[in-house]
Every structure is written in C-alpha cells, then in structure tokens.
Amino acid sequence: MAEFVILKAFHVKIHPFKAPKIKEMLWHPPLIYWTKCNSDGVAHDSPGNAACGGGLRNYQANFV
C-alpha cells in the first residue's frame, strides 16, 4: 500500500487491472445413453477477434 501512496505523491497515474469475475458453473449429465454438447464463445469489438469452443460428453461424463 505504501507504493501507491508514493506514486500518488509524485502524481503518477496508474491503472490497476480489474480482478476477473469468477463464476462457478455446474455441469449436469444428460439422460442415460444421451450425449450433451456444451459450447461457449467470446468476441471483442465488431469486427474484431473472436473465439469459441465446446465439448461433447455422454451420460457417464466421458468426453466423446
């Protein structure tokens, strides 16, 4: 904390990073003999970079 006081005394502007938001997610298996597809994606600006991913799991939680 003392470092921030020193920086402020010398009028040094700082931009601390925001802490990431962490969200707990629970996965529920599909019905017996079914396969479940979960996916997610993110995009920055329009147009801009984008990414996506996903996974298939069976009712025993094994990746397919």
pLDDT digits (tens, 9 = 90+) for 17-60: 888 899 998 889 999 999 999 999 999 888 889 999 999 999 99
pLDDT tens digit sequence for 19-31: 889 999 888 999 9
> Given this model, what pLDDT does residue 30 score?
95
pTM: 0.52
Examine residue 3 and state whether it is found in any structural domain, yes or no. Answer: no
Examine residue 45 and state whether it is found in any structural domain, yes or no. Answer: yes
Examine residue 2 and state whether it is found in any structural domain, yes or no. Answer: no
Examine residue 32 and state whether it is found in any structural domain, yes or no. Answer: yes
Examine residue 29 and state whether it is found in any structural domain, yes or no. Answer: yes
Asked whether the bond before 30 is cis by omega within 30 degrees of 0, the reply is: no
Domain that holds residue 54: 19-64
Distance CA 54, CA 41 (A): 9
Examine residue 37 and state whether it is found in any structural domain, yes or no. Answer: yes
Number of folded domains in the chain? 1
Distance CA 2, CA 60 (A): 53
